[in-house]
Amino acid sequence: MATKPPAGDPVQDAPQVAPPKHAAAGLPAIGYTALVAQQQMGAVRATRTLLKVNQKDGFDCPGCAWPEGDKRHVAEFCENGAKAVAEEATLRRVTPDFFAAHPLSDLAGRSGYWLGQQGRITQPMYLPEGADRYEAVTWERAFEIVAEELKALDSPDEALFYTSGRTSNEAAFLLQLFAREFGTNNLPDCSNMCHESSGSALTETIGIGKGSVSLEDLHQADLIIVAGQNPGTNHPRMLSALEEAKRAGAKIISVNPLPEAGMERFKNPQTAKGLALGGQKLNDLFLQIRIGGDQALFRLLNKLIVETEGAVDELFVREHTHGYEEFAAAARAADWDETLAATGLTRAEIEQALSMALASRRTIVCWAMGLTQHKHAVATIREVVNFLLLRGNIGRTGAGVCPVRGHSNVQGDRTMGIFERPAPAFLDALEKEFGFAPPRHHGYDVVRSIEALRDGKAKVFFAMGGNFVGATPDTEVTEAAMRRASLTVHVSTKLNRSHAVTGRRALILPTLGRTDKDVQKSGKQFVTVEDSMGLVHSSRGNLKPASPHLLSEPAIVARLARATLGAGSTVEWEEFEKDYATIRDRIARVVPGFEDFNARVAKPGGFRLPHAPRDERRFPTATGKANFTAAPVEYPAVPEGRLLLQTLRSHDQYNTTIYGLDDRYRGIKGGRRVVLVNPEDGRELGFTDGSYADLVSEWKDGVERRAPGFRVVYYPTTRGCAAAYYPETNVLVPLDSTADTSNTPASKSVIVRLEQSATV
**For binding to ligand MGD (CB under 6 A), which residues are involved?**
63-64, 80, 164-166, 190, 193-194, 227-230, 233-235, 255-258, 260, 289, 291-292, 294, 368-370, 373, 406-407, 464-468, 471, 491-494, 496, 511, 513-514, 553, 646-649, 653-657, 726, 729-730, 733, 747-748
Partner in contact with 730, chosen from Mo ion, ligand MGD, none, beta carbon below 5 to 8 Å by kind: ligand MGD
Residues 412, 756: Cα–Cα separation, whole Å = 46
Binding at 430: pick from ligand MGD, Mo ion, none (beta carbon under 5-8 Å per type): none
Q: Which stretch binds Mo ion (CB under 5 A): 31-39, 190-198, 320-328, 747-755?
A: 190-198
What is the nearest approach in angstroms of ligand MGD to the Cβ of residue 236?
8
Least Cβ distance, residue 726 to ligand MGD (angstroms): 4
Q: Helices (DSSP H) in 185-293: which residue ranges?
A: 196-206, 215-220, 231-234, 237-247, 261-264, 272-276
- Contacts with Mo ion in 379-408 (CB under 5 A)? 406
* CB-CB contact of 468 with 458 (8 Å): no
From the list ligand MGD, Mo ion, none, pick the one residue 696 interacts with, judged by a Cβ distance below 5 to 8 Å according to partner type. none
Closest CB to Mo ion among 207 and 406? 406
Q: What does 511 bind: Mo ion, ligand MGD, none (CB cut-off 5 to 8 Å by kind)? A: ligand MGD
- Nearest approach, Cβ of residue 706 and ligand MGD (Å): 15
How far apart (Å, rounded) are the C-alpha atoms in residues 457 and 129?
A: 20
Stretch that binds Mo ion, among 189-197, 276-284, 433-441, 643-651 (CB under 5 A): 189-197
Taking the complex as a whole, the smallest distance from the CB of residue 167 to ligand MGD amounts, in Å, to 6
Q: How far is the CB of 417 from Mo ion (least distance, A)?
A: 19
Q: Which residue lies nearer to ligand MGD by CB, 233 or 488?
A: 233
Least separation in angstroms between residue 747's CB and ligand MGD is 3
C-alpha distances (whole Å) from 631 to each of 334, 374, 383 are: 12, 15, 8
Helix (H, G, I), strand (E, B) or coil at 332: helix
199 Cβ contact partners less than 8 Å away, ≥ 6 residues apart: 191, 209, 210, 414, 742
Residue-level length of the chain: 760
Residue (194 or 482) nearer to Mo ion, CB: 194
Name the binder of 726 from Mo ion, ligand MGD, none, CB < 5-8 A by kind. Answer: ligand MGD
Strands 125-127, 135-136: pairing kind: antiparallel
At its nearest, how many Å lie between Mo ion and the CB of residue 405?
7
Least distance between ligand MGD and beta carbon 329 (Å): 26
Which of 292, 395 has the CB closer to ligand MGD?
A: 292
Compute the least distance from the CB of residue 740 to ligand MGD, in Å: 15
Q: How far is the CB of 348 from ligand MGD (least distance, A)?
A: 19
Dist. CA 563–CA 301, nearest whole Å: 57
Nearest CB to ligand MGD, comparing residues 209 and 395: 209
In the bound state with Mo ion, the residue whose beta carbon lies nearer, of 164 and 502, is 164
The C-alpha atoms of residue 99 and residue 495 are separated, in whole angstroms, by 11
Least distance CB 471 / Mo ion (angstroms): 9
Considering only the stretches 193-201, 469-477, 593-601, 673-681, report the one whose residues sit in contact with Mo ion under the rule CB under 5 A: 193-201
Choose between 534 and 613: whose C-beta lies nearer to Mo ion: 534
Smallest distance from ligand MGD to CB 21, Å: 14
Nearer to Mo ion, 194 or 609 (CB): 194
Residue 310 backbone class (left: φ over 0; alpha: ψ -120 to 50; beta: rest): left
Q: Which does 228 bind (CB under 5 to 8 A by kind): ligand MGD, Mo ion, none?
A: ligand MGD
- Cα of first residue to Cα of last residue in the chain, in angstroms, is 18
Q: Interhelix angle for 580-590 vs 424-434, to 10°?
A: 130
Q: Which is nearer to ligand MGD, 407 or 414 (by Cβ)?
A: 407
Q: Which residues contact 221 (CB under 8 A, 6 or more apart)?
A: 245, 250, 360, 362, 363, 364, 398, 399
State how far the Cα of 64 lies from the Cα of 253, in Å rounded to an integer.
Answer: 22
Q: Which residue is nearest to Mo ion (CB)?
A: 406
Complex with Mo ion: residue 181 or 420, whichever CB lies closer: 420
User: Rounded to a whole number, what is the largest CA-CA distance in the chain?
Assistant: 74
For residue 185, the tally of other CB atoms under 10 A from its CB is 23
Work out what residue 540 binds among ligand MGD, Mo ion, none; the CB cut-off runs from 5 to 8 Å by kind: none
CB of 575 to Mo ion, least distance (A): 33
CA 611/CA 613 separation, integer angstroms: 6
CB of 318 to ligand MGD, least distance (A): 32
Q: Which is nearer to Mo ion, 192 or 240 (CB)?
A: 192
The one of Mo ion, ligand MGD, none whose footprint includes residue 494, by CB under 5 to 8 A per kind, is ligand MGD
Binding-site partner at residue 633 among ligand MGD, Mo ion, none, CB < 5 to 8 Å by type: none
Adjacent-strand bridge partners of 126: 135, 507
Q: Is 5 exposed, middle or buried (0-12, 13-18, 19+ CB in 10 A)?
A: middle
Q: How far is CA 153 from CA 48, 130, 571, in A?
A: 47, 21, 22
Cite the DSSP H helix spans in 484-579.
553-565, 573-578
Q: Which residue number, 49 or 730, has a Cβ lying nearer to Mo ion?
A: 730
Euclidean distance between CA atoms 503 and 713, whole angstroms:
38
The sign of the dihedral angle between the CA atoms of 546, 551, 552, 553 is negative
Distance CA 110, CA 7 (A): 7
563 touches Mo ion by CB under 5 A? no
Q: How far is CA 332 from the centre of its chain?
A: 35
Nearer to ligand MGD by C-beta: 322 or 705? 705
Is the Cβ of residue 207 or residue 232 nearer to Mo ion in the bound state?
A: 232
DSSP reduced 3-state for 668? strand
46: number of Cβ within 10 Å: 21
Q: Which of 93, 88, 26, 29 is nearest to 53 (CA)?
A: 88
3-state SS, residue 286: strand
312 binds, among ligand MGD, Mo ion, none (CB under 5 to 8 A by kind): none
DSSP letters along 410-431, please?
Answer: HHHHHHTT--SS--HHHHHHHH
Q: Is 509 a residue that touches Mo ion (CB under 5 A)?
A: no
Task: Find the shortest distance in angstroms from Cβ 167 to Mo ion.
Answer: 13
Partner that binds at residue 747, options Mo ion, ligand MGD, none, CB closer than 5 to 8 Å by kind? ligand MGD
Between 219 and 514, CB nearer to ligand MGD: 514
Taking CB under 5 A as the rule, does residue 194 contact Mo ion? yes
Sites of contact with Mo ion (CB under 5 A): 194, 406
